[in-house]
């Protein structure tokens, strides 16, 4: 990781440490993963860290302003800057607003849209699979353990290409089942994200695991500490023809000694896809954490602010 990225990581993590967040996006790792698709601009406004993301479509705020006691003038300044850069286009918005931040966006000035829900599980539930609710999961897990010769082991840098080959096979299987243009774009983007994250997983502090069957990688998973209590599973890919492997790798990851300090598992959202929603609900989440998008209402207040802004580019 180059010195500029390292400095940005330190600054982001400093501001994130001031509060406890449950959404997966509140991590430098999540920002780093998408740097091939957005140009991120880190700015200090009123001693709040504001992370702007921009591509050919326009500019938006990737996270709400980070810091203690966020005030209305900081949010106003963010919208002022985005409106000027976007020349009034509809992309001006603040993403990943949390439930406890909604009061900062009064309805007379802003519109709030429910973006998604992230799935939060008790790690102990996923580690044990106890009770009738997990009967089918135990069955899938036991089938895999009984019928395959496998190893669950730490990811090593030399495994990257084999994991990416597995991703390509997984993606091709998805295509055979029928996908639209949006899904195709997601498959291509996520392939680049997986490669980027694997290349820098040690520097970023990610934990990666693979499952080999007869010596060949058939599944991999990566995640990171979101906060002191919550571990986020960033992605997981398995060979869909290996029955029970998806259940096995998820449970094995939750049982891993490296995750022993965490009480909760964030498995991120379901991308609005019904099949993923059904799968994630079948693991019995303890809670669903909402994420909102904020835009200005027609009568919104984009005031000329005198807020002090400081660039963080180097």
CATH code at 171?
3.40.630.30
* 123 and 257 assigned to the same domain: yes
- Do both 170 and 267 map to the same domain? yes
Confidence of residue 309 (pLDDT cuts 50, 70, 90): very low
pLDDT at 47 exceeding the cut of 80: yes
Whether residues 169 and 186 share a domain: the answer is: yes
Q: Are residues 72 and 22 in the same domain?
A: yes
CB 32 within 8 A of CB 5: yes
Domain-located, residue 260: yes
- Percent of the chain exceeding pLDDT 70 equals 95
| pLDDT > 60? residue 72 | yes
Give the global pTM: 0.91
- Asked if residue 265 is part of any domain, the answer here is yes
Residue 98 covered by a domain: yes
CA–chain centroid gap for 279, Å, is 18
Q: Where does the pLDDT of residue 298 fall: very low under 50, low under 70, confident under 90, or very high at 90 and above? A: low
Number of domains in the chain: 2
For residue 299, what pLDDT band results from cuts at 50, 70 and 90? very low
195's tokens: 């490669």
Tell me, yes or no, whether 134 and 279 share the same domain: yes
- Alpha-carbon distance of 183 to 21, in angstroms, equals 29
| 37: containing domain | 3-109+297-311
Q: Is residue 28 part of a domain?
A: yes
301 and 256 assigned to the same domain = no
Cβ-defined contacts of 251-255 (< 8 Å, 24+): 251/126, 251/127, 251/129, 251/137, 251/141, 252/152, 252/209, 252/211, 253/209, 253/221, 253/223, 254/123, 254/126, 254/127, 255/127
Residue 154 pLDDT > 70, yes or no?
yes
User: Over the stretch 103-124, which tens digit does the pLDDT of each residue have?
Assistant: 999 999 999 999 999 999 999 9
Q: What is the mean pLDDT of the chain?
A: 92
Asked whether the beta carbons of 94 and 78 are under 8 A apart, the reply is yes
Q: Quote the pLDDT of residue 314.
A: 32
CATH code of residue 30:
3.40.630
Task: Verify that 140 and 272 share a domain, yes or no.
Answer: yes
- At residue 279, the pLDDT reads 93
Task: Specify whether 134 is located in the same domain as 168.
Answer: yes
Is residue 36 in a domain?
Answer: yes
Residues 149 and 272 in one domain: yes
Q: Tell me what pLDDT residue 300 has.
A: 46
Instruction: Note whether residue 114 is domain-resident.
Output: no
Same domain, 73 and 145: no
């Amino acid at each position: 990781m180059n010195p500029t990225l390292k400095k940005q990581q330190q600054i982001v993590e400093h501001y994130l440490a001031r509060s406890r967040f449950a959404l997966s996006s509140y991590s430098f790792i999540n920002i780093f993963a998408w740097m091939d698709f957005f140009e991120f601009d880190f700015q200090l406004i009123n001693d709040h860290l504001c992370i702007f993301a921009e591509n050919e479509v326009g500019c938006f705020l990737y996270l709400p302003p980070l810091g203690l006691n966020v005030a209305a003038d900081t949010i106003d300044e963010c919208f002022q800057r985005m409106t000027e850069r976007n020349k009034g286009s509809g992309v001006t918005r603040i993403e990943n607003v949390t439930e406890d931040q909604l009061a900062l966006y009064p309805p007379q000035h802003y519109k709030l849209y429910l973006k998604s829900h992230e799935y939060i599980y008790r790690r102990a539930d996923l580690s044990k699979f106890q009770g009738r609710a997990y009967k089918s999961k135990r069955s899938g897990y036991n089938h895999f353990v009984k019928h395959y010769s496998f190893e669950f082991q730490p990811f090593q840098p030399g495994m990257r290409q084999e994991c990416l080959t597995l991703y390509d096979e997984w993606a091709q299987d998805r295509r055979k089942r029928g996908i639209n243009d949006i899904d195709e774009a997601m498959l291509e983007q996520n392939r680049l994200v997986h490669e980027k994250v694997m290349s820098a997983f040690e520097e970023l502090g990610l934990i990666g695991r693979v499952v080999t069957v007869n010596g060949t990688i058939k599944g991999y998973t990566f995640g990171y500490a979101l906060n002191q209590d919550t571990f986020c599973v960033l992605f997981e890919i398995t060979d869909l023809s290996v029955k029970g492997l998806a259940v096995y790798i998820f449970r094995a990851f939750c049982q891993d000694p490296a995750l022993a300090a965490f009480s909760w598992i964030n498995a991120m959202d379901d991308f609005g896809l019904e099949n993923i929603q059904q799968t994630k609900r079948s693991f019995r989440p303890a809670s669903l954490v909402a994420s909102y998008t904020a835009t200005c209402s027609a009568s919104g207040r984009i005031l000329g602010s005198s807020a002090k802004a400081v660039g963080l580019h180097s």
